[in-house]
Amino acid sequence: MVPIFMRALIIVDVQNDFCPGGSLGTARGNEVAAAVGHYLEGDLAKVNDYAHVVATQDWHIDPGAHFSENPDFVDSWPRHCVADTAGAQMHDALKDAPIDAYFRKGEYEAAYSGFEGKADGTALADWLRERGVDSLDVVGIATDHCVRATALDALQEGFEVRILTGMCAAVDNARGDKAFEEMEKAGAELV
């Protein structure tokens, strides 16, 4: 029998602060935002027949040592994605995207994984399971941090996971490539 998947697209942290001009801009952030926007409008997304499209957002109020005046850009960072600021908004390229729910994370601590996020009090894994989703495509920012953590948690939670690598942007390219390898080893398919 041909397996039937119920697949969702997870757009990780495609927020202004993670794009050029933002406080923690990745080099390819704008490119990724535009590519995800086009992807959702085009035939390829139709072929993948997403049951749902969801987004995660870093949403910081007072995340402690996650913010630093002297960030190491691995475990500590300049202020970014402060709740209700322009930097925390989704990139303009996704302003009109058909996103069903936004899962916000990191209010009072570092939260790299989208699975730490909640939409109207519902955690991402529960929200997906309630809707019968068993398979996820993951895109977004940053490959070496939030995409990585989200994909690894998704696998841990028992979802089938594909990473659409062309629509992911890294803070650091070498770390990004290592993160792709790690996700693949953990069971994700790199597309």
The residues of the shown chain that bind ligand VGL, judged by CB under 6 A, are 13, 18, 58, 77, 141-142, 145-146
Measured between alpha carbons, how far is 71 from 78 in angstroms, rounded to an integer? 6
Cβ-based nearer residue to ligand VGL, 132 or 166: 166
As given in the structure block, the two tokens for residue 17 are: 């602060």
| Sign of torsion over alpha carbons 55, 140, 144, 15 | negative
Establish whether 105 is a catalytic residue: yes
- CB burial of 133-154 (b: ≥16 within 10 Å; e: otherwise) equals bbbbbbbbbbbbbbbbbbbbbb
Establish whether 13 is a catalytic residue: yes
- Which is catalytic among the residues 17, 105, 153, 168? 105
Establish whether 168 is a catalytic residue: no
Cβ-based nearer residue to ligand VGL, 13 or 153: 13
Q: Which of 108, 80, 114, 86 is nearest to 10 (CA)?
A: 114
Closest separation between CB of residue 13 and ligand VGL, Å? 4
Closest separation between CB of residue 61 and ligand VGL, Å? 14
Measured between alpha carbons, how far is 35 from 12 in angstroms, rounded to an integer? 14
Measured between alpha carbons, how far is 64 from 189 in angstroms, rounded to an integer? 34
Closest separation between CB of residue 177 and ligand VGL, Å? 15
Closest separation between CB of residue 108 and ligand VGL, Å? 14
- Which is catalytic among the residues 17, 19, 81, 146? 146
Catalytic residues: 13, 105, 146
